[in-house]
Amino acid sequence: MKRFILIAFSLLAVLSVSAGNKRPHFGERPKLVVGIVVDQMRWDYLSRYYSQFGEGGLRRMIDEGYSFDNCLINYVPTVTAIGHTSAYTGTTPAFHGICGNNFSIDGQKVYCCADDSVETVGTDSKAGKMSPRNLLATTIGDQLRLHTDFRAKVIGVSYKDRAAILPAGHSANAAYWLDKDNGQFVTSTYYMTELPQWAQEFNKRLKKNKELKTIGSRVGFSPLAGHITADMAIAAIDGEQLGQGDETDMLCVSFSQTDVIGHEWGTRGDHTDEAYAELDKDLARLFSALDAKVGKGNYIAFLTADHGAAHNNQFMVDHKLHGGKWLSQQLQEALEAHIAQKLGNAKPVVQAILDYRFFLDHAAISAQGLDLQRVKDVAIEFLRAQPNIAFVVDYEKAGSAPIPNYLRERILNGYNYRRSGDIVVAVEPGYYEVGSWSSPVGTTHGEWNPYDAHIPLLFYGWNVPVGASPTEVHITDIAPTICQLLHIQQPNACIGQPLLFE
């Protein structure tokens, strides 16, 4: 009898777990997938601002959805273009090739989305000379398009070009971003030769927006950038009839004003508080529109960030916490002088320092008869003697470098030998690179530390239970999770694992 009861309880437990994680039938899919990336959103903002959120936006996702509370970025550097790409490809720069906002390809400096072979559609400026040409892997949207013989629609929308283009992927129907100098949403001839009528009508309304006229090109420093991003996304749902056809469609939305505001004013203060209060309202409007047009329960949404942010270095010092400035420009000049003194070269050999990575000029090194490895060794010797640098790594020797495995894995995941440079450094906790992208009271990001790499990951809607998990997961797990739910193949360079809503 006891054995029977034990078997019955065991069976009940198995059935309970199975019911909680019931796999959708192969024929069951949501009408629409909505991917949301909030630029520079630290994970702890969810709790910091929770009491200030309304019922329809972020709190709705937290209370009615599923939160993976320990989602980490598993590569360095932690910057915008890489974060957006990794979330939608399920892989890292080693495979998808987007190695920063700016990087080099075989020694030639590039912007991640720059493409001189295409033209702007929507204005007469050069803001639309962009495409996903440098992206080496497919995205969720690409796989969805492939699976449906390109009947599914995939649209990207953001204030930033890279935040619209890279998530949407190669085969997207469209990606739209804001030409901030003209106050109009644009695209490129990579996607189309003329804006659709609904987008033209939306731009006409933007021209009449008095607040936008007043702010002008500084719109990214205001929550207004988030308002018009949400409005554009809602207009795309209407104009493209997303979620209204026989196939599952996808909308990729990125809110970038939070990053611009963070770089300018940091992680604390009225500007950042306002940014997240207004973002919450924008998300509430977006979800309300989705409920009305697609139907509550007919769409699945996920929300994450491309990276977090460090607290302002002076803020840390003022509160007796370890932190400070890392001045890469001055360091580059000193490094050049040291190499010249040691090796006798007459011309510079350091091409750039980008996101804690040193790009050496291989052509200049070869032309002066220098040995590349010798130049790297001299540079590494110099850098290891500099203050506030914790580790210095020759990328090609990272696998055997005397550094913690945790950091080694992230360095290797972020390394593409044709695009990532030659040497990478990790600065001490609380320190960050100070440059033109952050003000004295602002902040930046880019390192492995939790403040840069611990990001929110929320799922809400179709077949998503209510709950939370403290298990460590990664930004690269998002794409395989969505693909698993849709019963489509993972992106073609995916290394992530589908997540289980336990």
Q: Which residues are designated catalytic?
A: 80
**Cis bond upstream, residue 196 (ω within 30):** no
Which distant-in-sequence residues (6+ apart) come within 8 Å of 344 by Cβ?
none
How many beta carbons lie within 10 A of that of residue 45, not counting itself?
23
> What is d(CA 137, CA 96) in angstroms, rounded to the nearest whole number?
5
Conformational region of residue 411, where left means phi above 0, alpha means psi within -120 to 50, and beta covers everything else: alpha
Helix (H, G, I), strand (E, B) or coil at 356: coil
Which distant-in-sequence residues (6+ apart) come within 8 Å of 327 by Cβ?
434
Q: Which residue has the tokens 């990087």?
A: 103
Which distant-in-sequence residues (6+ apart) come within 8 Å of 323 by Cβ?
310, 311, 313, 316, 317, 429, 430, 431
Q: Which residue has the tokens 């360091």?
A: 331
For residue 387, the one-letter residue type is: P
> What is d(CA 330, CA 334) in angstroms, rounded to the nearest whole number?
6
DSSP letter, residue 122: S
| Strand residues in 25-80 grouped as ranges (E) | 32-38, 66-72
> What is d(CA 2, CA 229) in angstroms, rounded to the nearest whole number?
62
Conformational region of residue 110, where left means phi above 0, alpha means psi within -120 to 50, and beta covers everything else: beta
Q: Which residue has the tokens 């350091």?
A: 350
Helix (H, G, I), strand (E, B) or coil at 188: strand
Buried b (16+ CB within 10 A) or exposed e, 298-321: bbbbbbbbbbbbbbbbebbeeeee
SS3 sequence of 383-394: HHCCCCEEEEEE
* Closest by CA position to 307, among listed 254, 353, 343: 254
Question: Are the C-beta atoms of 122 and 187 separated by less than 8 Å?
Answer: yes
| Strand residues in 355-455 grouped as ranges (E) | 357-360, 389-394, 423-427, 431-433, 454-455
> What is d(CA 361, CA 344) in angstroms, rounded to the nearest whole number?
16
Question: Are the C-beta atoms of 325 and 431 separated by less than 8 Å?
Answer: yes
> What is d(CA 95, CA 476) in angstroms, rounded to the nearest whole number?
12
